[in-house]
Amino acid sequence: MDVSIVGSGYVGTTIAACLADFGHTVRNIDIDEDIVTTINNGESPIHEPGLDEKISAYAGDTLTATTDYASMHNSEVVFVALPTPAKPSGAIDTDPITTGVRSIGDTLNETNSPPLIVIKSTVIPGTTTETLIPLLESTSNHTVDDDLDVAVNPEFLREGTAVQDFITPDKLVFGTNTPHATDTLHELYTPLIESANPTVIETGRQEAEFIKYANNAFLATKISLINELGNIAKDHNVDAYEVANALGADHRISEHFLRSGVGYGGSCFPKDVAALIYAAKSKGYDPDLLTAGVEVNEKQPQRLLELLDEHGDIANKRITVLGLAFKPGTDDLRNSRAIPVIDGLQDRDANIVAYDPVANDALATEFPDIEYAASPIEALTDSYGTLVVTEWDEFAALDDEFNAMRRPLVIDGRHVITRRDGITYEGLTW
């Protein structure tokens, strides 16, 4: 099939490359000329394992990129994969997506057989029906559910494993209002359905929009629940990871997303939970559990700092932060737990030295006044205490390096360092 994808962030770029791999002819449309040039040169515009290989295999052939919306004229499917960033209130900012949808509508004005429009972006339930469809109808002169189909097909791709998540999904969610839209999505995803056998959920557009928020809210709150249990466990000299092993053996709970520690970050969980809380309140409902989950998440970095405080004053002492990215495999610092940890160390007048295998430069723009080390050993040398914030593999391999510390105290927020003789080790929830 001929597919256009508007927006080339990690979602749009990953979907484009994977759909090309499934034999479709795919076009990335983006207003950013640098992104377009990079894709056409056969390279990935973002760091995402496996993406470079797929883009280089199809670029210039069945995968192209352009800034020109008119290029979608022959497409049977047009994905909208534009960002929906958070406003300070928690509400989503729909400006990027409405701008893109308006351009799509203007383009479709010229065509008698418009493509299926598929909303991939994460939007609050009702946005497609109340905002995007009226916009498409007024700009395109087509009537939705009559001669123009619109579907909602949320994504469940994790940063850092987006390609793998795309080709081995647990589920596909088709939110549609016509059989033609459902059939078109089935045809598009046939190779994926045949190879990975995901559960295909056919539902309404509004339900599909909600499923995405429910998924992220559930996982984020699951992390906060294991963190809360972990905090209580630690106070009772119980190892929360032993407890999580047992919990995970119960298929009703599942072993995933039970890693307790310094909390969740990234661009998705914090943004989507905040947007769902905002949406709930806008209808007069107070989502107490979701709100409590956010509070627990904010508490975890403070607990890491409090464990450090128990070992004495750190004013003017050299303190090491290992790991800055919000999770391993990315240099993304959005809502990274390293940020409140460093804020807290600055409040305590510590001399901070930070190390991350890929995110040092990104953090330096936000915290220009702290020291950045080029290696773990450099970060550990002469340190009075180390806080571990991201579970990079290379931290698990650290051993004799801790001997370089002036006071070998390790407070581990991610269950990544192995306890060993010669260091004072504290786990956050174990």
Q: Which residue type sits at 103? A: S
β-bridge partners, 28: 5, 65
- Window 104-143: contact mask with ligand UGA (x via CB under 6 A): ----------------------------------------
What is the rounded distance in angstroms from the CA atom of residue 305 to the CA atom of residue 348? 10
Judged by beta carbon, residue 219 or residue 353, the one nearer ligand UGA is: 219
- Window 186-225: contact mask with ligand UGA (x via CB under 6 A): ------------------------------x--x---x--
- 268 annotated active-site: yes
Judged by beta carbon, residue 212 or residue 317, the one nearer ligand UGA is: 212
Token readout for 399 is 């051993």
Q: Which residues of 341-374 are buried (b: 16+ CB within 10 A; e: fewer)?
A: bbebbeebebbbbbbbbebbebbeeebeebebbe
Judged by beta carbon, residue 11 or residue 352, the one nearer ligand UGA is: 11
For ligand UGA, the binding residue among 58, 189, 213, 326 (CB under 6 A) is 326
Token readout for 299 is 């508490």
Q: Which entry of 268, 322, 405, 416 is annotated as an active-site residue?
A: 268
350 neighbors 319 (Cβ within 8 angstroms): yes
Of 13-21, 101-109, 154-162, 346-354, the segment contacting ligand UGA by CB under 6 A is 154-162
Total chain residues near ligand UGA (CB under 6 A): 20
SS3 284: coil
Minimum Å gap between C-beta 28 and ligand UGA is 18
222 neighbors 253 (Cβ within 8 angstroms): no
Minimum Å gap between C-beta 397 and ligand UGA is 19
CA max distance for the chain: 74
- Window 52-81: contact mask with ligand UGA (x via CB under 6 A): ------------------------------
- Nearest CA to 96 out of 81, 83, 105, 107 is that of 83
- Where on the phi/psi map is residue 385: left (φ > 0), alpha (ψ -120 to 50), or beta? left
β-bridge partners, 355: 322
Token readout for 101 is 């949808």
For ligand UGA, the binding residue among 47, 73, 158, 281 (CB under 6 A) is 158
Minimum Å gap between C-beta 159 and ligand UGA is 4
Q: Where are the beta strands (DSSP E) in 310-418?
A: 318-322, 351-355, 371-372, 386-388, 409-412
User: Is residue 155 near ligand UGA by the rule CB under 6 A?
Assistant: yes
Minimum Å gap between C-beta 266 and ligand UGA is 3
Q: Which residue type sits at 165? A: D
387 neighbors 365 (Cβ within 8 angstroms): no
Judged by beta carbon, residue 122 or residue 383, the one nearer ligand UGA is: 122
Judged by beta carbon, residue 91 or residue 404, the one nearer ligand UGA is: 91
Judged by beta carbon, residue 148 or residue 341, the one nearer ligand UGA is: 341
- Window 231-270: contact mask with ligand UGA (x via CB under 6 A): --------------------------xxx-x--xxx-xx-
- Nearest CA to 187 out of 156, 158, 149 is that of 149
Q: Catalytic amino acids?
A: 268
Applying CB under 6 A, which residues contact ligand UGA?
A: 155-159, 216, 219, 223, 257-259, 261, 264-266, 268-269, 272, 326-327
